[in-house]
Amino acid sequence: MGSILNDERNAQRLLKMTAGTLILLDESGNCIDIQVQDEGLWFLNEKLLKGQNLFSLFPQETYRQLYPNFRDVLTRKCVSSQSYEMKLNDQTYYFRCTMQPYDNLVLCQYKDITESSIQRREILKRNKELDEIQKIVLLSHWRYESRSNEMYFSGSTGIFTDITNCSLDADIFRQHIVQEDLESYDRWTERLLKGDLSDTFTYRVKHHDKIHHIRSKCFSREKFKDGHIILEGYVQNITEIQQNRNDINLLTDAINNASGSVFAADEEGHLIFTNRRYREQHHIKDKEAYSQLKVYEINSYFKDKEDWDNYVENVKQGHRSQHFTTYHPFPLCPEIIAIESYAHWITDDNGKGTIWTFGRDITQRIVAEQKLKHFNLIMNRSLEKLPASIVVKDINDGFKYVYRNREFFNRIIYQEDPIGKDDFYFHSYEDALRKREEDTQIAQSGIEKHWVVEDKDGDGNTVYIDKRKLKIEEEGLPPLLLSIDWDITDMEKMKRELIEAKEKAETSDRLKSAFLANMSHEIRTPLNAIVGFSRIIAETEDADERNEYYSIVEENNERLLKLINEILDLSKIEADMVELSIRPISMHALCTEIGQTFQFRCGEQVQLIHDPSDPSLLAMADNSRVFQIVSNLINNSLKFTAQGAIHYGYRQKDHFIEVYVRDTGGGIPEEKLRKIFDRFVKGNEMAQGSGLGLAICKMLVEKMGGQIQVTSEVGKGSTFSFTLPEA
């Protein structure tokens, strides 16, 4: 057979079958010639196109897509083949245009691809929807290939990867299966390889320390001549479903095994659920037998069907309480005196309503209440006039009051009768919660508690109460909590006054001698100078000498005044009479102020340097007292620093602000370093000062919640630092 495709006689036929519609355009886009084979597109018409500009017929959007490619083919002599979209009269068309140079012209081949493009877009849309559904339901397609021993997943289960497609070695995948499920998984896989695809298998995998429940199904098996097997199926992550199922099972078991009775009934009174306790109380032996029973036929609380209907309507509309008590409810169980029940109307998604009723046996409580009434009668007669507050609470009944005497009634609760109420009824939530925790601790441990507290009476006066709490247990009776409060205000005040007076006397006597000894020396020194030089001034006629002596007197006056101020500060601090204004303060601003204060006090040989610090740091302290402390430390450094520098600043240390003053002075000997913060201790006995400044600094720092310390080396300098709480 000769060549068919190269035979010129077949050229026209082949062109019609493959080319679509051909249009020959000049460089301006005018149609020179046309051969129409595809009439699917509205513009592929010889009468309409021939001699006309093709691009003038297209909508503007299509023109902007097509024309640049046309110019590119014309100028670069290249081939362009693309698909285009064209919207016209609320219709969307898709066509493929292949353009190629033809001498100085452009040959365009057009094919209508509208139908295939719409189908392709619909497929892509459906695939995207399917992917989203798979993500929502955690569903994935899987394939196993025995030749490579690979597992391939397409979709998302949210276990091994978040991407849509992944592969995993089958042995590695098997390592993630929970050990208890591994044997069953292997047997299932073996059945699949043999061709048994009937089972849907559920197992667990562990990934990133989390257990996932997996449901898997194989729907395809293909075996090749070389023994190679390909399995395909789907896998779904049902962890949440399994957890919900477990929660429901747990809830069902809890309700079924509850100590109280539970039943559910429809509007007509047909029982649709009962728990074990309810069936025992009504002697229903068969678990399914209750489905034939009606509530109003077996429950003595309801007289008949009409009574039940009225009850249902009232519960539905909320016209009456859902709480009710049935006395002597079970003729077959005479030992049960009463059942306390709570009813709730619950509707499902379809609007169908069900009454759920939860009941508990309160026989023991009723018996206990009767016994407690008798107990109260005895207690009231014997203890009502006792000058102490006596309270008894029922531990099993939420620590409710079952007894109080008149003293308790008058002192705390006044006009309210506490019987049957708890602490939350009379006290704030915080106070009641504290009392409840205290009562619970004693009830659980059985250990008596005895303490003295400071309290307020109804008039706001301070009172001291001797409190005693203990658990009382008696066979056949519920456990009780007994509280006895004695008002010992007068005795306690007298005791504390005596102790305070004794301590003050001892302290005063001890300190008096030391204070007087030191003060007599410290005050005598500037006074002697003042008196002595005052006499010399009176006898001196030389003006220069008099001015010199005046300066000495003035200096000693200032020294004496400072000493007196320090004594007063020390006295106030010791007497706890110093009032501190604790608030957030800016350490940067304080250090800046100190620098301005001392800038003219330093000699030519000494520099005062404020080290850079974080300006945002705040301390909780008294601003004026911190200024006083830092000033005192800098003044001390100036006394003992002949040359060099004094650095000061602050830094963050844990949850505190550490303030420091570091100098290059002579340092402090080790024997004095240990006592430097004691009263009347000086770093240098030859230096001026009372020896009280550092003691005052230490007391002020500690009063603001900080600590002060010092490090020093003789000949190199000292560093004083103290801490303040961070704001």
One DSSP character per residue, 475-501 reads TTS--EEEEEEEE-HHHHHHHHHHHHH
What's 412's DSSP letter? I
pTM: 0.32
Q: Give the neighbor-by-neighbor strand order of the sheet with 717-725.
A: 606-610, 644-653, 656-663, 717-725, 708-713
Residue with tokens 């395909």: 232
Give residue 385's pLDDT: 65
Locate 342 and state its tokens: 């709570």
* Residue 298 pLDDT greater than 70, yes or no: yes
Mean pLDDT in residue range 365-393: 74
Mean pLDDT in residue range 438-459: 86
Cα–Cα distances (Å) from 683 to 231, 573, 687, in that order, read: 92, 23, 8
Give residue 409's pLDDT: 45
Q: Which residue has the higher pLDDT, 152 or 541?
A: 152
How far apart (Å, rounded) are the C-alpha atoms in residues 540 and 530?
A: 15
Q: Which residue has the higher pLDDT, 543 or 463?
A: 463
**Which band of pLDDT confidence, cut at 50, 70 and 90, is reported for residue 630?**
very high
Of the candidate ranges 113-117, 181-185, 626-630, 679-683, the one whose mean pLDDT is the lowest = 679-683
Mean pLDDT in residue range 330-354: 77
Mean pLDDT in residue range 516-527: 58
Mean pLDDT in residue range 645-652: 94
Give residue 380's pLDDT: 66
**Which band of pLDDT confidence, cut at 50, 70 and 90, is reported for residue 79?**
very high
Q: What percent of the chain has pLDDT over 90?
A: 19
* Residue 643 pLDDT greater than 70, yes or no: yes
Q: Which residue has the higher pLDDT, 561 or 655?
A: 655
Mean pLDDT in residue range 247-273: 80
**Which band of pLDDT confidence, cut at 50, 70 and 90, is reported for residue 507?**
low
**Which band of pLDDT confidence, cut at 50, 70 and 90, is reported for residue 686?**
very low
Give residue 106's pLDDT: 92
Cα–Cα distances (Å) from 202 to 186, 211, 235, 447, 706, in that order, read: 12, 13, 9, 54, 65
How far apart (Å, rounded) are the C-alpha atoms in residues 322 and 320?
A: 6
Residue-wise pLDDT for 194-237, tens only, equals 888 888 888 888 877 888 888 888 988 998 888 899 999 888 88
Give residue 123's pLDDT: 67
**Which band of pLDDT confidence, cut at 50, 70 and 90, is reported for residue 622?**
very high
Residue with tokens 């097509």: 66
